[in-house]
Structure 1
Amino acid sequence: MGIVEAWVREKPIRTFLARLSQRRAEAAAAFLASPSGAAAVDGESGCDGSIPQLSSIANSVVSRCSRILDLATENLQQSFETDFPDSCKEHNTYARELVEYCCHKALHEVTTRPDYLTDKNLRHLMFDMMLAWESPGAQDGFLENDSTSCNSLETEDEDEGSIFYANSTRLAVQVDDKKIVRLSAFARIAPSCPIVADLVTVHNLFDALTCSSGGQLHFLVYDKYLKSLDRALRSVKGIMQSPLASSFQLDAGECILAMDGDRPIRPVLQHIGISAWPGRLILTTHALYFQSIRVGYGDKIVKYDLTTDSNQVIKRDLTGPMGVRLFDKAVMYKSSTLTEPIYFDFPELGGSSRRDYWLAITREVLQVNRFIRKFNLGDVQRAEALSKAILGILRYSAVKEAFHIAPSHFKTTLTFSLAEKLPKGDMVLEALYNNYFQLLDTSLSHLETESIVDKMPRTHSVPFSLYALSRMGFILLQRKDEIEKEISFCAVCFGVTKSLEAALEESFCYSERIESARATVDQVKVEGVDANIALMQELLFPFIQVGKLIYSLSQWEDPLKSLLFLAFMLYVIQRGIVGYIVPFVFLAFAVVMLWHKYIGDGKLLEVLEVKQPPSKNAVEQILTLQESISKLEDSLQTANIALLKFRAVLFASVPKATEMVAAALIAAAAILVFIPSRYLLVMLVVEVYTREMPLRKQSTEKFRRRIREWWARIPAAPVQMIRPNENKKKI
């Protein structure tokens, strides 16, 4: 009882009641923002607030949008019909166009707040907007009987207290199996908030969020993504506002995006040659900074500028102590301004996720700066491009931290890296520039801001990434007039995106074909030198057989067949048909392909059966490899000796051989000049083809023997190998 009395004295009952009333107020606000609350409000005010053409979930969303905009539902509908009269004529799309209009208009109003990602009611509203877009019409039966908000599935607002976030997201999928959003709705609504999604990468972002649910987005997954995105934003802002950021002399408009190596247990090592130093790695929108920590030398900051055109290359690589290539956890940076490559090592116990993350975001910064240089963007355009890259990196970080996945290749969520990797990605960048960044140069003096603002939220590709980041505290333009001009422009300008969407669709189509083709390539790869040789012999079997046949004819094993083949070749050369052989071969291949396409049975390509060579153990494979290397070394030695002997002949180290070779070259030059090429070809064919015939075989062997003996008498030019240090001493 004493403990209870002490608790009562320490925590008065009025404090408990105050907290209870505060929670009830928050619950009431959440109820009003939910579809059920909106339906209750509409029910109290009568049936006049609902639109007959819309479904219940669509009416709920439109009602909440009208409260956000401080407009009556009827006035909002009239505004839509006034701004877009053509959409009213299409009865099949009227409901969806109206819902999309209201959603974009409300989101444009709500997202002006810098902390809108922390508002759980807004997160519910955005998800309900997607649900309403998928089922906008009154005839749609989607969620009619279960139109309760996603609030009913909410557990704890904190991730640590939620069972859905503590384990895999599959549990959330099993619980929330009715309210799902598909790609089409996500692609239309999510890019309205530039922080949430981008038009170029929205498909890949949806694939990343739904990788465990089969292309169906559930609210708990979407909510977890938005919370992770908010944490990523706050983390970057914390780095920019930290005392450490002030030690770097950043350029105007330069923002810090990531930092690693600031903790002793997770260092970043910079390898230059055989030396390695721990330090701190910082990535900004302009450069990479490495602050080395050297005992007795103090902290030294080195800048690697990513904005210059200096043939910069960034890729994954191996590294290790004393230059030994052991661990695949490093990023290699090379440019024409450096004498040797720089390696940034990210040591960790399991996997290489740190290295992959830094490789991806550093490449994105490099690609956006290449885009800026390619199209020679101005100040506002450049800031907008950097803003899109920053938002892409934040989304990439949010997906990685929330779901522990890092999409790569064609599935990356980084805008400029994706355009670089996609087939015909250059067309995507050109369309992005023509329909997006060129609009920033449009004069605004003749535009009516008041009248066009109402029409703006119809599209989801408004260039306001810079505007969104400026609201979040990121300053990429130092001049306030330029920032205000950008905000005004974003409020009035909406560009045509048909060409950009067409370029993206074509590029994605090609990427799907490439992915399917790459899957077949991975299936047919075989291991082992013997197995690959056997496969190549089977693939080249017809050509090998033709070569064997021609060789047997050149050996005059059957004199009659060899004589007939020689007569045929001479006739082809004499009639001038040699120039048509290559076109005839191409035509034959084309005829075979077209025959298989149009006249063939249409069956799939049959499986090529290859006889597997006898298997070898590890020791036998090593011996085979050693033997192959020895043969390659012998071939290189023979080629070098031939070149050295030719060098000796060229500089007259052997006078008689030099005179003989010079006379032969003069005679060959005269023959090539005065004798027509047709007769030269006839002479060459007759000489090569008749070497092994019975009448010439003995003389041919005697001639070869004399040539070998003459070649053996020629000495090789002297060679001396010099060590690098000896060379430096001589200089």
Structure 2
Amino acid sequence: MAVVTRTRSILESLVREGSMKWLLGGRSMFDEDFEEMGKPPSARKNWLPLLSPIANLVIRRCLSVLGIFMIELVSNFESEALDYIKHPARYARNILEFCCFQTLVLSTKVPGHLGDKKFRRLTFDMMVAWEAPSSTDFIPNEDNTAGLDAFSRIAPAIPTVSDVITCDNLFNALTAATGGRLYFSVYDKYLRGLERAIRRFKTETESSLLSVLRSRCGEKILEVDGTVTTQPVLEHVGVSTWPGRLTLTDHSLYFEEHRVVSFDKAKLYNLSEDLKQVVKPELTGPWGTRIFDRAVMYKSISLSEPVVIEFPEIKGHSRRDYWLAIIREILYAHKFIRKYQIKGVARDEALSKAVFGILRLQAIQEIAISKPICSEGLLIFNLCDQLPGGDFILETLGRMASSQDLDQPDVGSVMYSISSMAVMSNLGLMFGVSSKHANEAGLVVGEITVGEMTSLERAVRDSRNSYKEVELAQATVDGVKVEGIDTNLAVMKELLFPLMELVKYINFLASWDDPMKSLGFCSLSAYIIYRY
């Protein structure tokens, strides 16, 4: 009875906090679940004694989505999982993953699932349950939060929410103000922002904006800027400067010069072809000066001279940094596709990774994050371009895409299409593509495999370990500098300190901040000059 009393206390606390009202479906279902816990283990329905209360509650909700009973779930897990995945020490967490991932496959097929608070609550409590899956685990009442490991297991199984490569950076952005623990309020705000970004993406793509030009490749609009007079976009070509509207699609960059009541014919800068493009930050200023660090320079072999696009803002260059990152993401995505000769559905899936990353970045920008956002860290191809071993991550992705066969899913290759087909179709990223394999997930969902790391996860882990080694080596080098050259500089600085102070005092007198002292200094100087 002590265990039942403690469990009821936990559940009542969670219900009071509103964290599990949706899961229990109101007071009546809570009573039903409590009654189940009060029964002997063998008499409980859809309840596994070896699982913790929160894990059992999550699984009960998942079973209602899957339309099966606990006995069927256990039977499927026992028949499909390998022996080491069913090891007693790992059984609770692995069967929880198995159930959650299968549920996510079906849930993400529903259009607008991110707008459903039940879905958002369910996926968050999957993370909470993942941290305490066993009946021997205990979650303090006040700690209804999720950590990095749980987020990294559950979130990448939802293609729109996260991915294996950037999930650590996304988690860090979401928990910047909460000490490395993810609260539902923040997670919920992020998913609602992501749902709005997706709606905006679909609306703009279906609009008439550049429709004739976009129709050639079925291009989809990712971002538009320069439509508000208070935030202009300026294009510099040679000595000419024009304000206009800038549009980024999943293939190209377009700039339309402002006219009196409309826009001029759009200039197209193709990001999908091999034109030796270079996109980098640039300085701009009046009359050709290079003063303000708030522009992007684009050049290619198709242009006679580089184009500089300026994003004016009063302070900083965050607007430019955002545009630089998303332009590069599309450019790098197409480079990846060309390098590994990815075609067909696999090509659309590769491009969707860049699109999803940009939509997530837009969602993060919508919520008030206390620390500045590093846009590159939330975009797959930008991040791989920076990380040591990033080329190996891309090679792994390329190998997965090249070996993909929709008619015969290969568990070893970690099929991205398993859970994301319907998602991409709902977003308008793919058209006329069947998602008939969405219910054949087995132990593999997207880039996640139940109970083990995939080849992609191992590549990301190795890359991050290499990055830590580089940071450590750099810290060692910095330490040597302090002990060597920097020490000599410190000694010289101390020797020159009196002279530096004298110069500062002379500058103070020259500024006439204290007229009496300045007048006295001038009189003394004039007397000395007169005498000598």
TM-score range, shorter chain: 0.7 to 0.9
Native 8 Å contact 1:188 1:460 kept in 2:
no
Contact 1:182 1:216 in 2 (8 A): yes
**1:371 deviation in Å?**
0.1
Identify if the C-alpha distance between structure 1 residues 33 and 320 changes in structure 2 by more than 3 Å, giving closer, same or farther: farther
Q: Which amino acid aligns with 1:278?
A: P
> Are positions 1:134 and 2:99 aligned together?
no
Deviates more, 1:509-518 or 1:323-332: 509-518
Check 1:37–1:611 CA distance in 2 against 1; reply closer, same or farther (3 A cut): farther
Match status 1:366 vs 2:331:
yes
Q: Deviation string for 1:299-351 (max 9, x for gaps)? A: 12100001122221111111122222221111111112222211111112232
Are 2:245 and 1:280 aligned?
yes
Q: Does structure 1 conserve the Cα–Cα contact (< 8 Å) formed by 2:231 and 2:312? A: yes
Look up the SS of the partner of 1:65 in the other structure. Answer: helix
SS in 1 for 2:297: strand
Match of 2:303 among 316, 338, 356: 338
Note the alpha carbon deviations across 1:54-110, whole angstroms, 9 max, x for none. Answer: 111011011111111111222222222222252575111111111111111111111
Aligned residue in 1 for 2:116? 119
Distance 1:133 1:80, change over 3 A: same
Tell me, yes or no, if structure 1 residue 398 matches structure 2 residue 363.
yes
Q: Distance in 2 between matches of 1:37 and 1:322?
A: 73
CA distance in 1, matches of 2:340, 2:229: 42
Question: Who is 2:55 aligned against?
Answer: 58
Q: Residue 95 in 1 paired to residue 92 in 2?
A: yes
Q: Decide whether aligned partners of structure 1 residues 85 and 213 sit closer, same or farther in structure 2, where only a CA change above 3 A counts.
A: same
What is the alpha-carbon distance in structure 2 between the residues aligned to residue 460 and residue 406 of structure 1? Answer: 34
CA offset at residue 422 of structure 1? Answer: 0.6
Paired residue secondary structure (1:93): helix
Whether 2:504 is the aligned partner of 1:611: answer no
Query: How far 1:407 sits from its partner (Å)?
Result: 3.9
Identity %: 40
Q: 1:474 aligns with which of 428, 431, 435?
A: 428
CA distance in structure 1 between the partners assigned to 2:472 and 2:284 by the alignment: 33
Q: Which secondary structure state, in structure 1, belongs to the residue aligned with residue 265 of structure 2?
A: strand
* Runs of at least 5 residues in structure 1 that lack an aligned partner in the other structure: 1-26, 147-176, 527-533, 539-607, 622-731
Matches within 5 A, 1:291-310: 291-295=256-260, 299-310=264-275
Q: Matched residue of 1:344: which SS? A: strand
Provide Cα deviations, 1:10-41, integer angstroms capped at 9, x if missing partner. xxxxxxxxxxxxxxxxx9x9545469875533
| Contact 2:244-2:257 within 8 A present in 1 as well | yes
Contact 1:254 1:284 in 2 (8 A): yes
When normalised by structure 2's length, the TM-score is 0.80
Contact 2:354 2:379 in 1 (8 A): yes
Q: What is the match of residue 227 of structure 1? A: 192
In the superposition, the TM-score normalised over structure 1's length comes to 0.59
Unaligned runs of 5+ in 2: 1-17, 505-532
CA contact (8 A) 2:198 2:427 kept: no
Q: Which runs of structure 2 are paired with 1:164-179 in the superposition (5 Å)?
A: 177-179=142-144
Aligned-residue CA RMSD (Å): 3.3
RCO (CA 8 Å, sep 6+): is it higher in 1 or 2? 2
The Cα of 1:211 is off from its aligned counterpart by: 1.6
Look up the match of 1:462.
Answer: 416
Q: Tell me by how many angstroms 1:465 deviates.
A: 7.3
SS of corresponding position for 1:59: helix
Structure 1 residue aligned with 2:511: none
**Structure 2: distance between partners of 1:383 and 1:359:** 23
Are 2:387 and 1:408 equivalent residues in the alignment?
A: no
Name 2:386's counterpart in structure 1: 421
Whichever of the two has the greater Rg, that structure is 1
Flag the structure with higher helix content: 1
- Correspondent of 1:440 among 397, 404, 409: 404
Match of 1:81 among 73, 78, 84: 78
The one-letter code of the counterpart of 1:41 is E
Return the match for 1:41 from 7, 19, 32. Answer: 32
Alignment of 1:174-573 (within 5 A): 177-246=142-211, 248-295=213-260, 299-404=264-369, 407-408=373-374, 412-434=377-399, 436-441=400-405, 443-444=407-408, 462-464=416-418, 467-477=421-431, 480=432, 483-484=433-434, 487-489=435-437, 491-492=439-440, 494=444, 498-518=454-474, 535=485
Q: Measure the CA separation in 2 of the matches of 1:463 and 1:259.
A: 29
Equivalent pairs, count: 468
